[in-house]
Amino acid sequence: MFSVCRQFYFSKVTFVALPSKYQRALHHESKHKIEKIKLREPFAVVAGNLPKTALNGEQAFNFLNDDAKVFIHGGAATPTILISEFYNYVMAKKLKNISAYHIHTEGPFPIINPEASSHVRSVSLFTGSNCRDPIKSGRADYVPIFLSEIPLLFRRNIIKLDLALLNISPPDVNGYCSLGPSVDVTRAAIESAKHLVGQINPSLPVTSGDAHVHISNFTSIIHGDMPCHFMNPRQMTEVEDKIGALIADNLIDDGATLQTGIGAIPDSVLDKLSNHRNLGVHTEMFSDGIIKLVENGVITNANKVVRPGKVVTSFVIGTENVFKFLHDNPLIGESLQLNFYCCFYKVFQINFIEY
């Protein structure tokens, strides 16, 4: 296995350390008991429940109180319209001590505005560029944790979520909405949050796998049509191009299963794999580079033991083209569980170091 680990370095970062008993509980659940909660099954129908259709935050969040813990859907699916309504409600009601938990978010994120600091605080569990300056200045927090362990914070009630804000597709004929390009840790938040509020978004690509949640699980919904948050590729440097070629030519064999992350090096490696055969994908992140390899027959997923024939990903980031490819594509399965790598033949993990 080849692994290049991603590390982000900050100065004057505010780290929020989990209490020691919770740190132990993540790894030794049987020895260190913590409070158990009944988890919601997102696929299940909640009999007799239909969400309230809200026109604004006043109607959508009227159950929200001080000290609430809120999860925000992230990545390309960041629900910008819903976040704005949430922010306006919190500020108008002068709510206090609201904690907003999230992984990387895209687009406007008013929760990190200086004037919000006495009302709501951003807590990044996997941070992105828009939160780095607030974290450096102490206006926002960062919890260092493996991405794969974040769901345990919710499922084991270490972080007791009162609300999850979600970007969802309109319900299909059976009442199921899709989480679109970002399942990642979101499904665990859905399972444990007391309330779900959704932004019904007709422009969200419909994905399969673990990406569905029944509309009857929601407390309220707001209609808000918006495109996914795109990320255009940047021009690779000569050094990055050479690194990608070295990895592709010397470390990745035919038939291997790939896990790729964010950054120029993974993009460069994918660009250099056109002569490989029968590659598989079971990955944290899906990006534009995978599409070309699928269309050229390089990625077949034929040798995968888990979900053979399928591309499995946790979240998708890329250009507008990648979301068109993703929409209603039976080849792609969105999943939150990527801990099956021991079952695969020749796994290669390609991530990125940022200094």
List pLDDT tens digits, range 219-246.
Answer: 999 999 999 999 887 788 999 999 999 9
Side-chain-side CA neighbours of 323 within 13 Å: the count stands at 22
Confidence of residue 155 (pLDDT cuts 50, 70, 90): very high
Q: What confidence score (pLDDT) does residue 37 get?
A: 72
Domains identified in the chain, total number: 2
Residue 151 domain-assigned?
Answer: yes
Same domain, 125 and 171: yes
Same domain, 127 and 211: yes
> Is the pTM value of this prediction over 0.85?
yes
The catalytic residues are 284
Confidence of residue 272 (pLDDT cuts 50, 70, 90): very high
- Asked which of 175, 193, 223 is the last residue of a domain, the reply is 223
Q: Which residues pair with 101 in a beta bridge?
A: 71, 123
Same domain, 200 and 272: no
| Alpha-carbon span 72 to 309, nearest angstrom | 32
Residue 169 domain-assigned?
Answer: yes
- Asked which of 223, 246, 263 is the last residue of a domain, the reply is 223
Q: What confidence score (pLDDT) does residue 20 get?
A: 56
Domain range for residue 311? 238-350
Same domain, 55 and 200: yes
Q: What confidence score (pLDDT) does residue 261 get?
A: 82
Same domain, 85 and 54: yes
Q: At 96, is the secondary structure helix, strand, or coil? A: coil
Same domain, 216 and 248: no
**Which residue type sits at 208?**
S
> Which residue in the block uniquely carries the two structure tokens 């419909």?
206
| Alpha-carbon span 73 to 77, nearest angstrom | 7
- Asked which of 200, 223, 246 is the last residue of a domain, the reply is 223
CATH number at 274 reads: 3.30.750.70
| Beta-strand runs (E) in 98-174 | 98-102, 120-124, 141-142, 163-168
pLDDT tens digits, one per residue of 277-329 = 999 999 888 999 999 999 999 999 998 888 889 999 999 999 999 999 999 99
Same domain, 41 and 130: yes
Same domain, 212 and 319: no
Q: Is the sign of the CA dihedral 270, 266, 188, 181 positive or negative?
A: negative
Residue 282 domain-assigned?
Answer: yes
Same domain, 137 and 44: yes
Report the percentage of the chain scoring pLDDT > 90: 74
Same domain, 245 and 207: no
Residue 11 domain-assigned?
Answer: no
